Structure 1
């Protein structure tokens, strides 16, 4: 969203103090032109049907229709607004990931973190998926890994290990599900247990007896059955078709 106009934002939370604080912080951001607030997802749905919003800041745990349920409804809109979840419950992050939320803020919301979320909304081209985040557990703490940071993913039973420049966390998700979700973002299946990001591939070696790709200096095997797909995708990427 980079059309030069301010964002029209709807903030939804059933706790008045939290809602007032969110509205206050949004009002301090000169990239936001209008802020409306409401105390339930049901009321928010009526507002969203009557008028267009660029961004919905959405609490998750609310009486009646939950924030997650509202987000699922918004996915069916012809022109759905960007969604940023604002919640005290980190364990909902996986569901937020499934719904392709732009960001996931934990209460209490800090102004700099809110500004970062709005940056992401404004930088996201219309019709494109955001740079998704995956919730991972490290030493009992929930962290969020951006899709763009993942160089490749490897299957480990019912889990997937995400390989980034700094860490290799585990996520409880089948590799096939991650492949389907991230295909349009340039992730390619090269082996039954490996998914790589074309953005991080340094070399492709498909002509020899042992086909491989090199990612950040690491040589990864390409199975024979995946060689044609990898070659086709690399060719399309070089020609600017993907």
Structure 2
């Protein structure tokens, strides 16, 4: 059962959100805070009391400390709660994703969309539990990545991403129908997507293991076939890639690549 906190400076919106959260049977406790400063006080009190907080459902545009700044502060906690943004503004989706937000909901919030966000929180909390506290292992859910395209925000499915290349402070996501820039370090994305079966094959390349079709060796150099592209594998990562493909061959189960495969 989940324990969550809703934060919104507009009282009617806050009351509605808390009501909807309490209606969800997966939620044990849902409380509200009228601004980010009050939310920080509530969170500090809970930590001192040894209480658990699984997620914060957070507005962005608030007086004083806004939702994005509040989310940045949460990263300083040893075990920060998951963050779901609930906002009337669609122009902060990319920034929210860069901060590690689990979901991004637009107001007015539809109950079925909120239920989907709660499900994602439940999945994330479940994956974080020690094995003895978790149920049978379940596949990692898909993730929608907001990307800027021609001045508009588009959502790209993680499952559609075949590989990722580092480009300075950005990463380029490659899919079957194009590529997209996201402002995020490759190392951070590698950690975020590791449970979904993404592996490093080079210091500047991350690959969805489910999309690897072949491992080739030529003159001591290794490369993997991903779609129509042949991507070089560094010596440092060759053994890891080879062992992964051997396990896949032996089990015949694509899930051997990782929960998200």
Distance in 2 separating the partners of 1:38 and 1:28: 18
Distance in 1 separating the partners of 2:150 and 2:91: 15
Q: Deviations over 1:38-58 (max 9, x none)?
A: 110000000011113111001
Q: How far did residue 140 of structure 1 move?
A: 5.2
Native 8 Å contact 1:101 1:130 kept in 2: no
Residue of structure 2 equivalent to 1:212: 223
Distance in 2 separating the partners of 1:121 and 1:157: 31
The normalised TM-score by structure 2 is 0.74
Native 8 Å contact 1:7 1:54 kept in 2: yes
Structure 1 window deviating more from structure 2 (199-208 vs 115-124): it is 199-208
Q: Do the aligned partners of residues 178 and 130 (structure 1) sit closer, same or farther apart at CA in structure 2, a change above 3 Å counting? A: farther
Residue of structure 2 equivalent to 1:99: 99
Q: How far did residue 65 of structure 1 move?
A: 0.8
Q: Deviations over 1:147-172 (max 9, x none)?
A: 3431113578997542235x424225
Distance in 2 separating the partners of 1:156 and 1:65: 32
Native 8 Å contact 1:88 1:106 kept in 2: yes
Alignment of 1:67-146 (within 5 A): 67-124=67-124, 125-126=127-128, 133-138=144-149, 141-146=152-157
Distance in 1 separating the partners of 2:179 and 2:93: 15
Extract unaligned runs of 5+ from structure 1: 1-5
Q: CA RMSD in A?
A: 3.1
Residue of structure 2 equivalent to 1:3: none
Residue of structure 2 equivalent to 1:38: 33
Residue of structure 2 equivalent to 1:188: 200
Native 8 Å contact 2:222 2:238 kept in 1: no
Q: Do the aligned partners of residues 232 and 65 (structure 1) sit closer, same or farther apart at CA in structure 2, a change above 3 Å counting? A: same
Distance in 2 separating the partners of 1:8 and 1:80: 13
Q: Do the aligned partners of residues 27 and 145 (structure 1) sit closer, same or farther apart at CA in structure 2, a change above 3 Å counting? A: same
